[in-house]
């Protein structure tokens, strides 16, 4: 049985994990949102939108901090971190996609393992305005949180106990991330362009 206090604690932890993990990509942000969505769905179906809001807000805060760091560091940060092997070729591609469909570009960069920071860094290098970032990233973060919440809802509907659904959601998200990372490494090893494609 999920209590109101337990749900509030889970939401607070999720916000922290997602905000920190969106700045320092060492925490499983998607898994945190999915696991909390399982608990929320066991508490009440009406609590699920709160998970999307909290997860999206955490992602937004983390992205804003990352974007600010990238804008401050610019090209020097790119060279220091060696995040982009061909920064100017990628910068041109990302600039075009961010100008045409910024919400899609930012959303896809969040869903592709290892894609978010290079895209945010490139966006900073090519001069994406704060106004465009602020508006576009709201929708991107909300859609991202909704996607991972849906995974949690699916796990809740399959497994009767909250802990079972939480474990299943975490395993699904981490396994999907591993598979996506493996596919990305295979593409790189075969010389296939790895630009984020909205």
What pLDDT, on the 0 to 100 scale, is given for residue 196?
43
Question: Does any domain span residue 197?
Answer: no
What the block records as the tokens of 89 is: 């070729």
What pLDDT, on the 0 to 100 scale, is given for residue 179?
61
What pLDDT, on the 0 to 100 scale, is given for residue 14?
95
Question: Does any domain span residue 194?
Answer: no
Series of mean pLDDT values for 10-residue runs along the chain (198 residues): 87 95 86 90 89 96 91 69 52 73 83 78 81 88 90 74 64 62 58 44
What pLDDT, on the 0 to 100 scale, is given for residue 172?
67
What pLDDT, on the 0 to 100 scale, is given for residue 109?
82
Question: Does any domain span residue 198?
Answer: no
What the block records as the tokens of 88 is: 């100017």
What pLDDT, on the 0 to 100 scale, is given for residue 56?
96
Question: Does any domain span residue 195?
Answer: no
Range of the domain at 75: 4-189
Question: Does any domain span residue 27?
Answer: yes
What pLDDT, on the 0 to 100 scale, is given for residue 78?
58
Question: Does any domain span residue 13?
Answer: yes
Residues present in the chain in total: 198
Question: Does any domain span residue 73?
Answer: yes
- What's the domain count of the chain? 1
Matching residue, tokens 């469909």 = 101
What pLDDT, on the 0 to 100 scale, is given for residue 62?
94
Question: Does any domain span residue 128?
Answer: yes
Q: Which contacts qualify for 43-51: CB closer than 8 Å, 24 or more apart?
A: 43/2, 43/3, 43/4, 43/7, 47/7, 48/149, 48/153, 50/11, 51/11, 51/14, 51/145, 51/149, 51/152
């Amino acid at each position: 049985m999920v209590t109101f206090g337990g749900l509030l604690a889970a939401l607070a932890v999720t916000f922290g994990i997602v905000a920190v993990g969106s700045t320092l990509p060492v925490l499983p942000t998607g898994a945190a949102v999915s696991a909390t969505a399982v608990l929320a769905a066991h508490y009440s179906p009406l609590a699920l939108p709160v998970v999307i809001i909290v997860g999206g807000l955490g992602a937004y805060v983390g992205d804003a901090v990352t974007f600010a760091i990238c804008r401050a560091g610019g090209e020097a940060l790119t060279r220091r971190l060696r995040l982009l092997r061909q920064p100017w070729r990628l910068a041109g591609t990302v600039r075009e996609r961010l100008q045409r469909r910024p919400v899609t570009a930012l959303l896809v960069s969040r869903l592709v393992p290892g894609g978010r920071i290079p895209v945010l860094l490139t966006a900073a290098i090519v001069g994406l305005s704060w106004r465009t970032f602020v508006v576009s990233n709201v929708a991107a973060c909300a859609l991202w949180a909704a996607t991972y919440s849906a995974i949690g809802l699916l796990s809740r509907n399959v497994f009767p106990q909250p802990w079972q659904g939480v474990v299943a959601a975490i395993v699904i998200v981490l396994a999907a991330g591993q598979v996506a990372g493996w596919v990305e490494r295979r593409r790189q090893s075969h010389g296939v362009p790895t630009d984020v494609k909205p």
